[in-house]
Structure 1
Amino acid sequence: FPRASSSPPPLVCTMVGGTVAFSSHWVPRGMGSGPGLRIRGSRDPQGRGIVHGVSMSAGLDSTPTPASASRRGALRKLLMAVVLATGMPREGSASSREQAAASSCAEGDAVCASSSSKVPKLQLGSLSISPIIMGQWQLAGGHGAYDPAEAVENMVKHYDAGITTVDTADIYGPSEEIVGTFLKQRPEAVVCTKFCCFQGLARIDKKQVRKRILDSCKRLGVRSLDLVALFWSDFEVKRYVQVAKWLTELKEEGLIREIGVTNFDTPHLKELVDAGVPVVSNQVQYSIVDRRAQNGLSSYCEQSSIKLLCYGSVGGGLLSSRFLAKQRPGRSTLDTSSLRMYASSVSRFGGWELFQELLSALSQVAEKRGVTIANVATRYVLDQQAVGGVIIGVRNSKHIQENVAALNLTLDADDNKILESVLAKAQGPEGDVYGYERGVVV
């Protein structure tokens, strides 16, 4: 810390995983216990670190002392001194992102420190999100055992590579708690969670809505939720509009920043919008195999400034070289909930033979571009109308570079012509989003 201070500032340290987080209140010489600098930062076991925040603050005493203009000016000038003296960059600067990525990369990792500079951001209401979103459905079960500490480490590595947005839900097992642990290390991450309604739909009341939102805040360790997406299992129970309005009230109160929905088809999404619910996103299944969102929903979302956040864009791994030129897999190969779920989309698309034609076309484009089949499949979805981002599972960190590569890929007219030659043969899936799953489309 700056040698100009009368004495080293007191440090309050905590251990978060393998990272030492600290905060300090520093009052420069001659300013008594009045206004000072509140310094927050962290250092990893290798000694690398970031100042997460340096801000004006009241004194250590219970009665803040107003700062004069000269004092405030002095404190502002001292800001850079603090940064230089600690040897740590300010969070949010290009150098801090590179240093954060470097501290997260173990020797041999594919991710380089400059990866974050390659990831653009998208405005979603008041939120700035990454177009690749860390999906946490896998933490709900059905994807094998996992180590929570390793899950947090993987999220940190993805964040430091520029994938700064997380998708979770109140029904994904311990997912919100695990994401909450991650947020202690990367508090600037944007978290999209869900308010899922499956049972007792007619009995949901305002008090219950508020309690569940507060419970999510507690699990995530935050005072407000960045984005809450409403899922409603049965549209025959018409209470979804009222529940969405209660969520809107909590947004106005400050407990929620933005409101989204999950798997709302076009007419029911329109119903919410017409009722004045400020929906900014709709999370839906959308891939080159499952293009139901193109049957009216994407056009409506484009007109209504609603972004589609898409899951299943790589089919849980089906859209990869692993299944290229292979026989139809049995249940032992489809060994995760994701693979089994997305295999049904392949059947509706036109069956395994047509799917092999699609994989071959994707492979042709991938070889031309020097990327993977999954990259091309991801890029295809990102290029579609109203799409704001794709949600990809992040069980480990070995695919970070591959995921980021999709954002730097451009598909030209020839590439799309190759893909469309196969898509023209597709038999489905038909109807609006989530129609098969609801039993609306047989």
Structure 2
Amino acid sequence: MAGMIPRCELRSDYDISRIIKGGWQLSEGHSQALSDDPVADMFAFVEQGIDTFDCADIYTGVEALIGRFIAANRQRAEPLAVRVHTKYVPDYGELGQLTKAKVEQIIDRSLSRLGVEQLDMVQFHWWNYAAPGCEQAAQWLAELQQAGKIALLSLTNFNSEQTRALLEAGLTLATTQVQYSLLDPRPEKSLIGLCREHGMQLLCYGSLAGGFLSDRWLGEPDPTAPGGPGLDNRSLIKYRLMIEEAGGWDALQDLLGGLKAVADRHQSSIASVAARWVLDQPQVAAVILGARNAAHVDRCEQIFRLKLDEEDRAVIAALRGQLGVPAGDVFDLERDKNGPHGRIMKYDLNSD
């Protein structure tokens, strides 16, 4: 193992780094990648033990970018072992009208973009449970898995009820990718228990709330207040909405202040405490961090140098007890197209 990044075994022949390099922030139109050479950055992460990448068919340009890295890696005298997790996210407008040929076309496109013969993991998303065809699409993905195009089949942003429905339909699912943080404990309501029951693991995004759970925002005024500078990308807007669900900007500041005290005890950082807390929760295999460039590698290693003790956990539990809990199950708020969380989503990004 390079660096200090531990690993988690998802099955006997498949393990991943417990920090996954996220890809959403590298997508075109999201924000500046802040890197002159993203392929070189990928090598830097892998060489330090962060050898698992997360992307999606709808993250514009990211599968192809990782494909460039994979091609460059093959040219090395000793190629590095890498895992790439992508997603299958059918367009909202196509729900209820999908065919197996259309599903296979998107999977084949991901294979081509990445330049591989088999996708390490495909995480299935479904926008609207009222639209027919969710179970059928999942079964088609399972058939493509049997055909050798997919190694592991997983979910992303499914709530507990719909996850159970797919499991009861006979799907074998390795993981589910969900938002989980000190601000968003919705997986604890029932999903973690369901995953334990069925041997599934959680891959968690949003554990730093887009960077709001960091020293950067301690003591800062609300950027969305009247006269404030506002927020410059959808990621920050998304997590600012989650802060509101937890109690608002003042509640965030109280949380950050408490986390700062914990971090100072360990000569660490708020972000490391927040990520470490998620990693310590049941069924959590890894956290997905949106590190844009190689400058973040050392910060990732800091997470595993930190060991939270009973005093730390008691402080964090008290801080959590002061926060509001978002309504509903995992991604239920975001699934409402007419609500504030749903209105910022982009729903039809998978068309050629």
Q: State the TM-score, normalizing by the size of structure 2.
A: 0.89
For each residue in 1:72-114, what CA deviation from the matched residue of structure 2 results, as whole angstroms up to 9, or x when unmatched?
xxxxxxxxxxxxxxxxxxxxxx6xxxxxxxxxxxxxxxxxxxx
Q: 1:196 aligns with which of 86, 89, 95?
A: 89
Which residue identity does 1:250 align to in structure 2? L
Which residue identity does 2:19 align to in structure 1? I
Paired residues of 1:358 and 1:422 also in contact (CA < 8 A): yes
Which residue identity does 1:306 align to in structure 2? M
Match of 1:317 in 2: 211
1:218 deviation in Å? 0.3
- Listed as ranges, the gaps of 5+ residues in structure 1 are 1-93, 95-115
Matched, 1:283 2:170: no
Instruction: Mark the CA change 1:186 to 1:332 in structure 2 (over 3 Å): closer, same or farther.
Output: farther
Q: 2:6 aligns with which of 91, 103, 120?
A: 120
Which residue identity does 1:176 align to in structure 2? E
Q: What SS does structure 1 have at the residue aligned with 2:88?
A: strand
Ranges of 4+ aligned residues in structure 1 off by more than 6 Å: none
Match of 1:273 in 2: 167
Match of 1:66 in 2: none
The 1-side partners of 2:197 and 2:266 are apart by 33
The 2-side partners of 1:402 and 1:287 are apart by 18
More strand by share: 1
Q: State the TM-score, normalizing by the size of structure 1.
A: 0.72
The 1-side partners of 2:333 and 2:49 are apart by 35
Match of 1:367 in 2: 264
Match of 1:35 in 2: none
Larger RCO: 1 or 2 (CA < 8 Å, sep 6+): 2
1:147 deviation in Å? 7.2
The 2-side partners of 1:132 and 1:160 are apart by 13
Shifted more, 431-440 versus 325-334: the winner is 325-334
The 2-side partners of 1:419 and 1:441 are apart by 34
- Listed as ranges, the gaps of 5+ residues in structure 2 are 75-80, 340-352
Match of 1:230 in 2: 124
1:241-280 map, 5 Å: 241-280=135-174
Matched, 1:343 2:230: no
Which residue identity does 2:279 align to in structure 1? L
Give % identity.
Answer: 36
The 1-side partners of 2:257 and 2:212 are apart by 13
1:211 deviation in Å? 1.4
The 1-side partners of 2:131 and 2:93 are apart by 11
For each residue in 1:224-276, what CA deviation from the matched residue of structure 2 results, as whole angstroms up to 9, or x when unmatched?
10000001001111311111111111111111000001100001001111111
The 2-side partners of 1:238 and 1:416 are apart by 43
The 2-side partners of 1:157 and 1:221 are apart by 21
Q: What SS does structure 2 have at the residue aligned with 1:278?
A: coil
For each residue in 1:266-311, what CA deviation from the matched residue of structure 2 results, as whole angstroms up to 9, or x when unmatched?
0100111111111111111111111111111111111111111111
Paired residues of 1:130 and 1:164 also in contact (CA < 8 A): yes
The 1-side partners of 2:337 and 2:36 are apart by 41
Instruction: Mark the CA change 1:142 to 1:365 in structure 2 (over 3 Å): closer, same or farther.
Output: farther
Q: What SS does structure 2 have at the residue aligned with 1:199?
A: helix
The 2-side partners of 1:390 and 1:199 are apart by 31
